[in-house]
Structure 1
């Protein structure tokens, strides 16, 4: 089970639920993802780190553990209300780039 230690939630701060671990956290601590398309034009889950992309979004702790839970649970398609297959490679690449110490 993934346990995230975060700051106590304040009543004035927006709160969202991670689609991976299903824990609530402050919106600023989570990565927003949206439904979009990959480089080949296939429907995909796209990271939206600035949280400015139009359309429905879902939130995820920016960790590989929560990403893997969301993929295993097929949570992205459900949260984004998308029928069919959504490729998640873009989110995986984004998380890997954040983890690199370069």
Structure 2
């Protein structure tokens, strides 16, 4: 994933990684997958997630995608909703089937 340029990180002033985002292509034309977006909890509420989401959108545009599909941790659904994603379904977490993960779709705005 790193050599394919799908991974981007955010570092703090000491060059420590405080966040990472991974966007991958899918078999569906025009749709990329937000494979993961993580921010170190010690750095929450500082805009890092918003910056990483913006990087994810830019990466999706770079691979000619018009939308991002997101499978989120339940507690992150509100964040993605604030970013403009809409819930399109849900499904069980593979490793813990009693945990239900929301599926969201973010349609990338066209440049005007």
TM-score of Structure 1 vs Structure 2, range by shorter chain: 0.3 to 0.5
Higher strand share: 2
Q: From the CA coordinates, give the structure whose radius of gyration is larger.
A: 2
Query: What's the TM-score, normalizing by structure 1?
Result: 0.34
What TM-score do you get using the length of structure 2 for normalisation? 0.32
